[in-house]
Amino acid sequence: MTRIDAKFAALKAEGKKAFVAYMMAGDPDYDKSLEIMKALPEAGVDVIELGQPFTDPMADGPTIQRAGQRALESGQTLQKTLDMATEFRKTDDTTPIVMMGYYNPIYSRGVDRFLVDAKAAGIDGLIVVDLPPEEDDELCIPAQKAGLNFIRLATPTTDDKRLPKVLQNTSGFVYYVSITGITGAAEAQATDVGPEVARIKAQTDLPVIVGFGINTPDTAENIASVADGCVVGSAIVKQIGEGKSVAQVAAFVKSLSDGAHRA
């Protein structure tokens, strides 16, 4: 059982929904980014999604693209992202960390080496947005063998024919993208999301977490009420991009997590 599995089992036992927070590793720089990461569990974050900056982030909207650019300009690398996880684990051995990004940095490092290093750093799961299920032998199956969850995205365009393929080797949770398009583009609506979550849950026992288009405590509550939890990314990254202090970012995150936990 991974930390992700344990966390969702504990939340289910408490009758609580999950709040997942995304942040870009190394934004605006390594030290402040690590401080923010360390503040997230206290702010009510159940799972941390740690973005790995990449030069060609095709699924990300402008807010997260700019965060990736800031991180790369400050010298963030895949190794430094693993170092952040290692540092975080010195004081927190329970909060799950999901590394989210693109395949190129992992491929460049070498899959076998990356998986050994990620596991040693305390990474629990991976979301790699540009590796479809047809490429499962590339990273997904080796990752699961190494004890890491491999989390897939389902979207409004994932029809009933495609869904079983998407779910086939998924573990940890299913990330449902509430809107078509890029991150930070529109607001998620519970009336649209609810039936889609039910459709996915009819085909899997995994928790279904909804992301994209959630930027207020009320939206977090509404979306979490029709799913197993929600993810907020762009709204948090925007606060960091505006130069807010660690305490200000943490307070904003807490308002969102309180919303999700009310659901």
Euclidean distance between CA atoms 76 and 136, whole angstroms? 27
Peptide bond into 28 cis (omega under 30): yes
- Using an 8 Å Cβ cutoff, are 64 and 234 in contact? yes
Of the candidates 49, 124, 136, 196, the residue annotated as catalytic is: 49
Closest CA to 236 of 50, 4, 81: 50
Show the CA angle centred on residue 169, arms to residues 164 and 173, nearest 5°: 90
Q: Is 117 among the residues known to form the active site?
A: no
- Helix (H), strand (E) counts: the chain: 12, 9
Of the candidates 60, 124, 136, 221, the residue annotated as catalytic is: 60
Tokens matching residue 20: 């997942």
Tokens matching residue 93: 């051995």
DSSP 16: -
Q: Is 135 among the residues known to form the active site?
A: no
Beta-bridge mates of residue 126 = 99, 150
Euclidean distance between CA atoms 263 and 258, whole angstroms? 9
Euclidean distance between CA atoms 136 and 100, whole angstroms? 16
Euclidean distance between CA atoms 261 and 242, whole angstroms? 26
User: Which residues are part of the catalytic machinery?
Assistant: 49, 60
